[in-house]
């Protein structure tokens, strides 16, 4: 099986200098590509001068995460794509267990490794941790990370299990599956497009797997930090997009109504925390959702909807009211 490791870059020459060496040194028998979203820094010249063996797909403008990958991947021939953030440091033999899993399990279409925090490697990292799940209302969370509560890696997730979504920070996906799904939804631009892609994949009968034997270290927050109101806007809006697109109407409409109320509470909370720009971002997210609702509704899957999609009823209630911070405790409740 031919694998292509594909890094999306936008003005990230500093990250490429720091983290690309580990990818090159520890990714034998893999083609390495950088898709460049029209960077204005020295990214291209740095790559050509220092890594002539790396393939470069140069795009005409910044298409974001979704559009950048959709356009760049069309130029790459491989059986497996590894979509890898530019701020990820890989470990020795990180590819072997992933490739073995793909070879031994033809029913698996998407795989995520263990994602640890580069700055605090004994802890999981926010974006993906030990595999993604959602609750009844469509809120995403991870084994190892529930909202801002991060677990220490003590070997509790050194396993291999089915998950609901794999993080775009390090996602392995069969090329034919990515193409059949039509790639990422470019209206998301960035954030939670991988949740939507995985949800659509499962509606089509594909399996998504977590492989704890493989691990990488993610810096995180390199594109947009959690303190950036734009990230708040994208997360709130895109989550509503995914619910609209991936659930039957009988379930989607009541959940959207509940989410709008909870989002309003979140906006009020931001205001009380003296974060008015985040409060405004939630309101903007709702108006953007309203204006694009018809478009998203038309993109609904025509295949059978996955009715048992959630791992718990309300992660918001259990975390903020029940004070549950650990995934293993959460699923036992």
Which string of b and e fits 216-243 if b means at least 16 CB within 10 Å?
Answer: bbbbbebbbeeeebbbbbbbbbbbbbbb
For residue 297, give its domain range: 229-302
Question: For residues 249 and 232, what is the distance between their CA atoms, to the nearest angstrom?
Answer: 26
**pLDDT tens figures, 132-151:** 999 999 999 999 999 889 99
The reply to whether 224 falls in a domain is no
- What stretches in the chain show pLDDT beneath 50? none
Instruction: Give residue 222's pLDDT.
Output: 52
Q: Is residue 321 part of a domain?
A: no
Residues 255 and 158 in one domain: no
Q: Are 173 and 279 in the same domain?
A: no
CATH number, domain of 129, equals 3.90.550.10
What is the reported pLDDT for 188? 96
Report yes or no: 12 and 43 within 8 Å, Cβ to Cβ: yes
184 within some domain? yes
**What one-character-per-residue DSSP string does 4-33 give?**
EEEEEESS-HHHHHHHHHHHHHT-TTEEEE
**204 and 244 share one domain:** no
DSSP type of residue 252: H
Q: Are residues 180 and 206 in the same domain?
A: yes
Whether 20 and 60 map to the same domain: the answer is yes
Q: Does 153 lie in the same domain as 248?
A: no
Query: Which residue in 83, 33, 39 sits closest to 63, CA to CA?
Result: 39
Q: Is 212 in the same domain as 159?
A: yes
65 falls within a domain: yes
Residue 327, domain member (yes or no): no
According to DSSP, the β-strands at 207-218 and 108-117 are: parallel
Residues 67 and 191 placed together within one structural domain of the fold:
yes
3-state secondary structure of 164: coil
Distances (CA, A) of 325 to 97, 203, 210, 241, 259: 29, 29, 20, 27, 21
Q: Tell whether 173 and 234 lie within a shared domain.
A: no
Report yes or no on 322 lying in a domain.
no
How many domains does the chain fold into? 2
> Is there a single domain that holds both residue 261 and residue 190?
no
In a domain, 320, yes or no: no
C-alpha torsion angle, residues 36, 40, 44, 47 (rounded to 10): -100
Question: Is residue 315 situated within a structural domain?
Answer: no
| 202 and 60 fall within a common domain | yes
Give the pairing of strands 108-117 and 170-174.
antiparallel
Domain-terminating residue out of 168, 198, 218: 218
Residues 208 and 257 in one domain: no
In angstroms, the CA 206 to CA 135 distance is 20
Q: Report pLDDT for 330.
A: 84
Are residues 199 and 70 in contact, defined by beta-carbon separation less than 8 angstroms? no
């Amino acid at each position: 099986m031919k694998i292509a490791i594909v890094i999306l870059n936008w003005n990230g020459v500093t990250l490429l200098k720091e983290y690309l060496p580990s990818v090159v040194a520890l990714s034998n028998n893999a083609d390495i590509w950088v898709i460049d979203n029209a960077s204005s820094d020295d990214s291209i010249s740095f790559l050509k001068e220092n890594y002539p063996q790396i393939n470069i797909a140069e795009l005409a403008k910044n298409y974001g995460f979704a559009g950048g990958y959709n356009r760049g991947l069309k130029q790459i021939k491989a059986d497996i794509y590894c979509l890898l953030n530019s701020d990820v440091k890989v470990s020795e033999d990180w590819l072997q267990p992933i490739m073995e899993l793909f070879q031994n399990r033809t029913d698996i279409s998407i795989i995520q490794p263990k994602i640890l925090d580069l700055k605090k490697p004994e802890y999981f990292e926010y974006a993906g941790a030990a595999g993604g799940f959602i609750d009844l209302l469509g809120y995403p969370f991870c084994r190892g990370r529930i909202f801002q509560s991060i677990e220490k890696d003590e070997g509790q997730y050194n396993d291999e299990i089915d998950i609901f979504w794999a993080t775009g920070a390090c996602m392995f996906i069969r090329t034919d599956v990515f193409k059949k799904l039509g790639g990422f939804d470019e209206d998301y631009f960035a954030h939670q497009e991988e949740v939507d892609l995985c949800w659509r994949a499962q509606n089509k009968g594909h399996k998504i797997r977590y492989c704890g034997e493989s691990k990488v270290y993610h810096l995180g927050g390199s594109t947009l930090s959690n303190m950036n109101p734009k990230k708040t806007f994208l997360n709130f809006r895109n989550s509503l997009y995914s619910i609209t697109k991936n659930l039957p109407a009988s379930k989607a409409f009541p959940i959207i109504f509940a989410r709008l109320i909870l989002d309003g509470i979140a906006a009020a909370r931001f205001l009380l925390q003296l974060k008015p720009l985040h409060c405004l971002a939630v309101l903007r997210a709702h108006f953007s959702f309203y204006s694009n609702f018809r478009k998203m509704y038309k993109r609904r899957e025509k295949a059978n909807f996955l009715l048992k999609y959630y791992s718990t009823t309300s992660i918001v209630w259990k975390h903020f009211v029940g004070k549950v911070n650990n995934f293993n405790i959460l699923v036992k409740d």
